[in-house]
Structure 1
Amino acid sequence: MLTLARIVVIPLAVYLLALRTPTASLWAGTIFGLASATDYFDGYLARKLNLVSLTGKFLDPLADKLMVAATLIQLTAMGWIEPWIPILLLSRELAVQGLRQIASGEGMVIAAGQGGKWKTAFQLIGLIGLLSHYTYTINFGLTITDINLHRVGWWMLVLSIAFSLYSGAEYFVKFLAAIDARSETGSKL
Protein backbone atom coordinates (compact mmCIF):
# COMPACT_ATOMS: atom_id res chain seq x y z
CA MET A 1 0.00 0.00 0.00
CA LEU A 2 2.80 2.44 0.88
CA THR A 3 4.55 1.50 -2.36
CA LEU A 4 1.50 2.52 -4.38
CA ALA A 5 1.29 5.79 -2.43
CA ARG A 6 4.88 6.56 -3.48
CA ILE A 7 3.96 6.04 -7.12
CA VAL A 8 0.82 8.19 -6.81
CA VAL A 9 2.63 11.20 -5.30
CA ILE A 10 5.23 11.41 -8.08
CA PRO A 11 3.07 13.60 -10.38
CA LEU A 12 2.17 15.86 -7.43
CA ALA A 13 5.82 16.49 -6.55
CA VAL A 14 6.68 17.14 -10.21
CA TYR A 15 3.71 19.52 -10.57
CA LEU A 16 4.66 21.47 -7.45
CA LEU A 17 8.24 21.74 -8.64
CA ALA A 18 7.07 23.11 -12.00
CA LEU A 19 5.33 26.01 -10.21
CA ARG A 20 8.79 27.43 -9.40
CA THR A 21 7.86 29.11 -6.14
CA PRO A 22 9.67 28.72 -2.81
CA THR A 23 6.54 27.39 -1.08
CA ALA A 24 5.67 24.90 -3.83
CA SER A 25 9.30 23.74 -4.02
CA LEU A 26 9.46 23.24 -0.27
CA TRP A 27 6.28 21.17 -0.48
CA ALA A 28 7.73 19.15 -3.38
CA GLY A 29 10.83 18.43 -1.29
CA THR A 30 8.71 17.52 1.73
CA ILE A 31 6.49 15.17 -0.27
CA PHE A 32 9.54 13.52 -1.84
CA GLY A 33 11.15 13.16 1.59
CA LEU A 34 8.04 11.61 3.12
CA ALA A 35 7.61 9.28 0.15
CA SER A 36 11.25 8.24 0.48
CA ALA A 37 10.81 7.56 4.19
CA THR A 38 7.84 5.28 3.49
CA ASP A 39 10.20 2.99 1.57
CA TYR A 40 11.96 2.05 4.80
CA PHE A 41 8.73 1.59 6.77
CA ASP A 42 7.09 -0.36 3.96
CA GLY A 43 9.92 -2.91 3.91
CA TYR A 44 10.11 -3.05 7.70
CA LEU A 45 6.37 -3.68 8.08
CA ALA A 46 6.32 -6.25 5.28
CA ARG A 47 9.09 -8.25 6.97
CA LYS A 48 7.76 -7.81 10.51
CA LEU A 49 4.19 -8.78 9.60
CA ASN A 50 5.35 -11.47 7.17
CA LEU A 51 3.65 -9.71 4.26
CA VAL A 52 6.54 -9.92 1.80
CA SER A 53 5.05 -10.62 -1.62
CA LEU A 54 6.28 -11.09 -5.16
CA THR A 55 4.25 -8.02 -6.17
CA GLY A 56 5.90 -5.97 -3.43
CA LYS A 57 9.35 -7.19 -4.45
CA PHE A 58 8.60 -5.95 -7.97
CA LEU A 59 6.74 -2.71 -7.18
CA ASP A 60 8.98 -1.43 -4.37
CA PRO A 61 12.17 -0.95 -6.42
CA LEU A 62 10.05 0.24 -9.36
CA ALA A 63 8.48 2.96 -7.21
CA ASP A 64 11.93 4.05 -6.02
CA LYS A 65 13.31 4.22 -9.56
CA LEU A 66 10.25 6.09 -10.86
CA MET A 67 10.47 8.65 -8.05
CA VAL A 68 14.15 9.32 -8.63
CA ALA A 69 13.94 9.28 -12.45
CA ALA A 70 10.93 11.62 -12.60
CA THR A 71 12.61 14.03 -10.20
CA LEU A 72 15.94 14.01 -12.05
CA ILE A 73 14.21 14.54 -15.40
CA GLN A 74 12.09 17.43 -14.08
CA LEU A 75 15.10 19.09 -12.41
CA THR A 76 16.97 18.82 -15.71
CA ALA A 77 14.03 20.17 -17.74
CA MET A 78 13.90 23.18 -15.42
CA GLY A 79 17.64 23.78 -15.80
CA TRP A 80 18.34 23.19 -12.09
CA ILE A 81 20.80 20.36 -12.82
CA GLU A 82 22.90 19.48 -15.87
CA PRO A 83 21.72 16.68 -18.19
CA TRP A 84 24.80 14.51 -17.56
CA ILE A 85 23.67 13.92 -13.97
CA PRO A 86 20.49 11.95 -14.72
CA ILE A 87 22.22 10.24 -17.65
CA LEU A 88 25.01 9.00 -15.37
CA LEU A 89 22.80 8.06 -12.42
CA LEU A 90 20.09 6.37 -14.47
CA SER A 91 22.65 4.52 -16.64
CA ARG A 92 24.20 3.10 -13.48
CA GLU A 93 20.77 1.97 -12.28
CA LEU A 94 20.07 0.25 -15.60
CA ALA A 95 23.48 -1.45 -15.63
CA VAL A 96 23.14 -2.75 -12.07
CA GLN A 97 19.56 -3.85 -12.72
CA GLY A 98 20.72 -5.69 -15.85
CA LEU A 99 23.43 -7.52 -13.90
CA ARG A 100 20.90 -8.31 -11.20
CA GLN A 101 18.52 -9.81 -13.78
CA ILE A 102 21.26 -11.93 -15.35
CA ALA A 103 22.39 -13.16 -11.93
CA SER A 104 18.81 -13.90 -10.85
CA GLY A 105 18.14 -15.82 -14.05
CA GLU A 106 21.14 -18.00 -13.26
CA GLY A 107 20.05 -18.57 -9.66
CA MET A 108 22.70 -16.27 -8.21
CA VAL A 109 22.02 -13.63 -5.60
CA ILE A 110 24.41 -10.70 -5.42
CA ALA A 111 23.80 -8.66 -2.30
CA ALA A 112 23.92 -4.89 -2.46
CA GLY A 113 27.01 -3.48 -0.81
CA GLN A 114 27.32 -0.67 1.69
CA GLY A 115 28.27 1.73 -1.12
CA GLY A 116 24.82 1.32 -2.67
CA LYS A 117 23.16 2.18 0.63
CA TRP A 118 25.28 5.33 0.96
CA LYS A 119 24.47 6.19 -2.67
CA THR A 120 20.77 5.97 -1.94
CA ALA A 121 20.99 8.04 1.25
CA PHE A 122 22.99 10.86 -0.36
CA GLN A 123 20.83 10.73 -3.48
CA LEU A 124 17.57 11.09 -1.58
CA ILE A 125 18.90 13.87 0.67
CA GLY A 126 20.34 15.59 -2.40
CA LEU A 127 17.08 15.39 -4.31
CA ILE A 128 15.12 16.75 -1.34
CA GLY A 129 17.50 19.73 -1.26
CA LEU A 130 17.33 20.26 -5.02
CA LEU A 131 13.54 20.01 -5.02
CA SER A 132 13.33 22.56 -2.21
CA HIS A 133 15.83 24.64 -4.26
CA TYR A 134 15.58 28.08 -2.70
CA THR A 135 17.37 29.83 0.15
CA TYR A 136 15.31 29.75 3.33
CA THR A 137 15.82 31.69 6.53
CA ILE A 138 15.78 29.48 9.61
CA ASN A 139 15.55 30.86 13.13
CA PHE A 140 17.50 28.70 15.58
CA GLY A 141 16.50 30.84 18.57
CA LEU A 142 19.76 32.66 19.16
CA THR A 143 20.81 32.79 15.53
CA ILE A 144 19.05 33.28 12.24
CA THR A 145 20.65 31.48 9.33
CA ASP A 146 20.03 31.45 5.60
CA ILE A 147 20.31 27.96 4.12
CA ASN A 148 20.58 27.53 0.36
CA LEU A 149 18.92 24.14 -0.07
CA HIS A 150 19.89 23.95 -3.74
CA ARG A 151 23.57 24.16 -2.81
CA VAL A 152 23.15 21.58 -0.03
CA GLY A 153 21.26 19.30 -2.44
CA TRP A 154 23.90 19.76 -5.13
CA TRP A 155 26.76 18.66 -2.85
CA MET A 156 24.76 15.70 -1.54
CA LEU A 157 24.09 14.68 -5.14
CA VAL A 158 27.83 14.98 -5.92
CA LEU A 159 28.50 12.56 -3.03
CA SER A 160 25.74 10.35 -4.40
CA ILE A 161 27.43 10.30 -7.81
CA ALA A 162 30.73 9.26 -6.23
CA PHE A 163 29.03 6.45 -4.29
CA SER A 164 27.02 5.54 -7.39
CA LEU A 165 30.20 4.98 -9.40
CA TYR A 166 31.85 3.13 -6.51
CA SER A 167 28.87 0.89 -5.78
CA GLY A 168 28.30 0.18 -9.48
CA ALA A 169 31.91 -0.99 -9.78
CA GLU A 170 31.54 -2.93 -6.51
CA TYR A 171 28.46 -4.71 -7.86
CA PHE A 172 30.23 -5.50 -11.14
CA VAL A 173 33.21 -7.00 -9.27
CA LYS A 174 30.83 -9.14 -7.17
CA PHE A 175 29.09 -10.24 -10.37
CA LEU A 176 32.43 -11.26 -11.95
CA ALA A 177 33.42 -13.10 -8.75
CA ALA A 178 30.13 -15.02 -8.85
CA ILE A 179 30.79 -15.98 -12.47
CA ASP A 180 34.32 -17.12 -11.60
CA ALA A 181 33.04 -19.17 -8.66
CA ARG A 182 30.44 -20.71 -10.89
CA SER A 183 32.93 -21.57 -13.65
CA GLU A 184 35.19 -23.27 -11.09
CA THR A 185 32.32 -25.59 -10.20
CA GLY A 186 31.64 -26.30 -13.87
CA SER A 187 28.26 -24.56 -14.05
CA LYS A 188 27.34 -22.51 -17.11
CA LEU A 189 26.23 -18.90 -17.06
Structure 2
Amino acid sequence: MTLANQLTLLRIALIPLLVIVFYLPYSWAHPVAAAIFTFAAITDWLDGYIARKYDQSTAFGAFLDPVADKLMVVVALVLLVEMHASPWFAVPAVVIVGREIVISALREWMAELGKRASVAVSMMGKVKTTVQMIAIIVLLAFYPQVGSWQTTLGYILLYAAALLTLWSMIIYIRAAWPELMAGEGE
Protein backbone atom coordinates (compact mmCIF):
# COMPACT_ATOMS: atom_id res chain seq x y z
CA MET A 1 0.00 0.00 0.00
CA THR A 2 1.62 3.24 -1.14
CA LEU A 3 1.77 6.36 1.02
CA ALA A 4 -0.40 8.18 -1.53
CA ASN A 5 -3.11 5.51 -1.23
CA GLN A 6 -2.85 5.57 2.57
CA LEU A 7 -3.51 9.32 2.51
CA THR A 8 -6.54 8.75 0.29
CA LEU A 9 -7.88 6.10 2.69
CA LEU A 10 -7.24 8.48 5.59
CA ARG A 11 -9.40 11.09 3.81
CA ILE A 12 -12.25 8.58 3.61
CA ALA A 13 -11.77 7.64 7.27
CA LEU A 14 -12.07 11.33 8.22
CA ILE A 15 -15.63 11.52 6.83
CA PRO A 16 -17.39 9.96 9.86
CA LEU A 17 -15.22 12.07 12.17
CA LEU A 18 -16.27 15.20 10.26
CA VAL A 19 -19.95 14.30 10.68
CA ILE A 20 -19.60 13.51 14.39
CA VAL A 21 -17.68 16.69 15.17
CA PHE A 22 -20.07 18.81 13.08
CA TYR A 23 -23.00 17.73 15.26
CA LEU A 24 -21.31 18.11 18.63
CA PRO A 25 -23.11 20.66 20.83
CA TYR A 26 -20.01 22.73 21.57
CA SER A 27 -18.92 26.16 20.34
CA TRP A 28 -15.68 24.68 19.01
CA ALA A 29 -17.42 22.03 16.88
CA HIS A 30 -17.66 24.06 13.68
CA PRO A 31 -14.06 25.33 13.65
CA VAL A 32 -12.83 21.79 14.38
CA ALA A 33 -15.06 20.38 11.60
CA ALA A 34 -13.54 23.00 9.28
CA ALA A 35 -10.05 21.94 10.43
CA ILE A 36 -10.84 18.28 9.68
CA PHE A 37 -12.10 19.23 6.21
CA THR A 38 -9.00 21.41 5.68
CA PHE A 39 -6.74 18.52 6.64
CA ALA A 40 -8.63 16.27 4.22
CA ALA A 41 -8.24 18.87 1.45
CA ILE A 42 -4.51 19.04 2.12
CA THR A 43 -4.23 15.24 1.94
CA ASP A 44 -6.03 15.44 -1.43
CA TRP A 45 -3.29 17.66 -2.79
CA LEU A 46 -0.53 15.77 -0.95
CA ASP A 47 -1.48 12.27 -2.15
CA GLY A 48 -1.42 13.43 -5.77
CA TYR A 49 1.92 15.17 -5.28
CA ILE A 50 3.45 12.11 -3.62
CA ALA A 51 2.05 9.74 -6.26
CA ARG A 52 3.58 11.82 -9.09
CA LYS A 53 6.88 12.74 -7.41
CA TYR A 54 7.68 9.26 -6.11
CA ASP A 55 6.07 7.31 -8.96
CA GLN A 56 3.44 5.81 -6.64
CA SER A 57 0.54 6.01 -9.09
CA THR A 58 -1.59 2.87 -8.97
CA ALA A 59 -4.85 1.75 -10.54
CA PHE A 60 -6.33 1.55 -7.05
CA GLY A 61 -5.26 5.12 -6.31
CA ALA A 62 -6.59 6.39 -9.64
CA PHE A 63 -9.96 4.88 -8.73
CA LEU A 64 -10.03 5.77 -5.04
CA ASP A 65 -8.73 9.35 -5.09
CA PRO A 66 -11.66 10.91 -7.00
CA VAL A 67 -14.10 8.81 -4.97
CA ALA A 68 -12.60 10.10 -1.71
CA ASP A 69 -12.71 13.68 -2.98
CA LYS A 70 -16.34 13.47 -4.03
CA LEU A 71 -17.41 11.72 -0.82
CA MET A 72 -15.81 14.36 1.37
CA VAL A 73 -17.28 17.27 -0.64
CA VAL A 74 -20.77 15.75 -0.88
CA VAL A 75 -20.90 14.91 2.83
CA ALA A 76 -19.75 18.42 3.76
CA LEU A 77 -22.32 19.99 1.42
CA VAL A 78 -25.13 17.82 2.82
CA LEU A 79 -24.20 18.93 6.36
CA LEU A 80 -24.10 22.56 5.25
CA VAL A 81 -27.41 22.37 3.37
CA GLU A 82 -29.06 21.27 6.59
CA MET A 83 -27.39 24.02 8.56
CA HIS A 84 -28.17 26.79 6.06
CA ALA A 85 -31.60 25.40 5.08
CA SER A 86 -32.41 27.79 2.26
CA PRO A 87 -32.84 27.57 -1.50
CA TRP A 88 -30.04 30.15 -1.81
CA PHE A 89 -27.70 27.54 -0.39
CA ALA A 90 -29.31 24.42 -1.82
CA VAL A 91 -29.10 25.55 -5.47
CA PRO A 92 -25.30 25.90 -5.69
CA ALA A 93 -24.89 22.73 -3.60
CA VAL A 94 -27.10 20.81 -6.06
CA VAL A 95 -25.14 22.25 -9.00
CA ILE A 96 -21.86 21.08 -7.47
CA VAL A 97 -23.11 17.59 -6.57
CA GLY A 98 -24.92 17.19 -9.90
CA ARG A 99 -21.82 18.14 -11.84
CA GLU A 100 -19.76 15.59 -9.94
CA ILE A 101 -22.23 12.85 -10.88
CA VAL A 102 -22.32 13.91 -14.55
CA ILE A 103 -18.55 14.19 -14.90
CA SER A 104 -17.92 10.90 -13.07
CA ALA A 105 -20.30 9.13 -15.44
CA LEU A 106 -18.75 10.89 -18.43
CA ARG A 107 -15.22 9.90 -17.40
CA GLU A 108 -16.29 6.29 -16.83
CA TRP A 109 -17.98 6.13 -20.22
CA MET A 110 -15.03 7.77 -22.00
CA ALA A 111 -12.68 5.29 -20.29
CA GLU A 112 -14.75 2.43 -21.71
CA LEU A 113 -14.15 3.96 -25.15
CA GLY A 114 -10.42 4.25 -24.42
CA LYS A 115 -10.63 8.06 -24.52
CA ARG A 116 -10.39 8.98 -20.85
CA ALA A 117 -7.51 11.37 -21.56
CA SER A 118 -9.86 13.71 -23.43
CA VAL A 119 -11.76 14.33 -20.16
CA ALA A 120 -8.78 14.28 -17.79
CA VAL A 121 -8.64 16.84 -15.00
CA SER A 122 -7.99 20.30 -16.43
CA MET A 123 -6.61 23.47 -14.88
CA MET A 124 -10.19 24.77 -14.72
CA GLY A 125 -11.11 21.69 -12.67
CA LYS A 126 -8.24 22.42 -10.27
CA VAL A 127 -9.30 26.05 -9.86
CA LYS A 128 -12.91 24.93 -9.30
CA THR A 129 -11.78 22.45 -6.66
CA THR A 130 -9.68 25.06 -4.86
CA VAL A 131 -12.51 27.62 -4.70
CA GLN A 132 -14.96 24.88 -3.67
CA MET A 133 -12.70 23.68 -0.86
CA ILE A 134 -12.16 27.21 0.46
CA ALA A 135 -15.92 27.89 0.34
CA ILE A 136 -16.69 24.73 2.29
CA ILE A 137 -13.98 25.47 4.86
CA VAL A 138 -15.35 28.98 5.46
CA LEU A 139 -18.93 27.72 5.67
CA LEU A 140 -18.02 24.88 8.05
CA ALA A 141 -15.96 27.13 10.31
CA PHE A 142 -18.72 29.56 11.25
CA TYR A 143 -22.29 29.08 12.33
CA PRO A 144 -24.45 30.93 9.76
CA GLN A 145 -25.56 34.39 10.81
CA VAL A 146 -27.50 36.63 8.44
CA GLY A 147 -25.34 39.60 7.51
CA SER A 148 -22.09 38.27 9.00
CA TRP A 149 -19.07 38.73 6.79
CA GLN A 150 -18.14 35.04 7.20
CA THR A 151 -21.53 33.81 5.96
CA THR A 152 -21.50 36.34 3.11
CA LEU A 153 -17.97 35.32 2.10
CA GLY A 154 -18.93 31.65 2.26
CA TYR A 155 -21.94 32.20 0.01
CA ILE A 156 -19.93 34.26 -2.48
CA LEU A 157 -17.27 31.56 -2.66
CA LEU A 158 -19.90 28.82 -2.94
CA TYR A 159 -21.58 30.62 -5.86
CA ALA A 160 -18.17 31.19 -7.48
CA ALA A 161 -17.47 27.46 -7.07
CA ALA A 162 -20.86 26.60 -8.59
CA LEU A 163 -20.18 28.86 -11.60
CA LEU A 164 -16.71 27.36 -12.06
CA THR A 165 -18.32 23.93 -11.69
CA LEU A 166 -20.71 24.64 -14.55
CA TRP A 167 -17.93 26.12 -16.66
CA SER A 168 -15.64 23.12 -16.13
CA MET A 169 -18.54 20.75 -16.87
CA ILE A 170 -19.11 22.52 -20.18
CA ILE A 171 -15.41 22.17 -21.01
CA TYR A 172 -15.50 18.41 -20.29
CA ILE A 173 -18.74 17.86 -22.22
CA ARG A 174 -17.40 19.83 -25.19
CA ALA A 175 -14.27 17.64 -25.19
CA ALA A 176 -16.44 14.50 -25.17
CA TRP A 177 -19.12 15.85 -27.52
CA PRO A 178 -17.87 14.11 -30.69
CA GLU A 179 -18.04 10.77 -28.89
CA LEU A 180 -21.40 11.58 -27.28
CA MET A 181 -22.91 12.39 -30.67
CA ALA A 182 -21.27 9.54 -32.59
CA GLY A 183 -24.01 7.63 -34.37
CA GLU A 184 -26.74 10.16 -33.55
CA GLY A 185 -26.98 11.39 -37.13
CA GLU A 186 -27.43 7.95 -38.61
Name the stretch that deviates more: 14-23 or 99-108. Answer: 14-23
Q: By how many angstroms is 1:80 displaced?
A: 5.1
The answer on 1:78 being equivalent to 2:87 is: no
**Structure number with higher strand proportion:** 1
> Could you tell me whether the CA contact under 8 Å between 1:130 and 1:153 is conserved in 2?
yes
Corresponding residue of 1:98 = 105
**Structure 1 residue 129 displacement after superposition:** 0.4
Q: Write the letter of the residue equivalent to 2:69.
A: D
Deviation >4 Å, runs of 4+ = 177-180
Q: Which residue of 2 aligns with 1:19?
A: 24
Question: Which residue pairs with 2:169 in the alignment?
Answer: 168
Name the counterpart of 1:89: 96
Give the letter aligned to residue 123 of structure 2: Q
Q: TM-score of the superposition, structure 2-length normalised?
A: 0.83
Counterpart Cα distance in 1 of 2:31 and 2:122: 32
Aligned residue type for 2:171: E
- Deviation by residue 1:154-173 (Cα, 9 ceiling, x = unmatched): 21111000100111111111
SS of the aligned residue for 1:160 comes to: helix
Q: Deviations over 1:30-77 (max 9, x none)?
A: 110111011111111112222111111111111100000111111112
TM-score, structure 1 length as denominator? 0.82
3-state SS of 2:28 partner: helix
The structure richer in helix per residue is 2
- In our comparison, the structure showing a higher alpha carbon Rg is 1
After superposition, residues 145-160 of structure 1 pair within 5 angstroms as: 148-160=149-161
1:173/1:20 Cα in 2 relative to 1: closer, same or farther (>3 Å)? farther
Work out whether residues 129 and 154 of structure 1, in 8 Å CA contact, stay in contact via their aligned partners in 2.
no
Give structure 2 stretches of 5+ with no counterpart. 1-5
Secondary structure of 1:70's aligned partner: helix
Alpha-carbon contact 1:96-1:168 (below 8 Å) kept = yes
Match of 2:63 among 58, 61, 67: 58
The match for 1:114 among 92, 102, 123 is 123
* Structure 1 unmatched ranges of 5 or more: 136-146, 184-189
Q: Is the 8 A contact 1:32 1:128 kept in 2?
A: yes
Q: Secondary structure at the match of 1:112?
A: coil
Aligned pairs, number: 171
Aligned to 1:4: 9
In structure 2, the CA distance between the partners of 1:69 and 1:179, relative to structure 1 (3 Å rule), is: closer
Q: What is the Cα deviation at residue 19 of structure 1? A: 2.6
Give % identity. 34
> Residues 51 and 57 of structure 2 are in contact (CA less than 8 Å); yes or no, is this contact kept in structure 1?
yes
Other-structure match for 2:3: none
Distance 2:49 2:122 in 1: 19
Q: 1:124 aligns with which of 119, 133, 143?
A: 133
Query: RMSD across aligned C-alpha pairs, in angstroms?
Result: 2.2
Change (3 A) 1:123 1:20: farther
**Residues 8 and 68 in structure 2, CA contact (< 8 A), matched pair in contact too:** yes
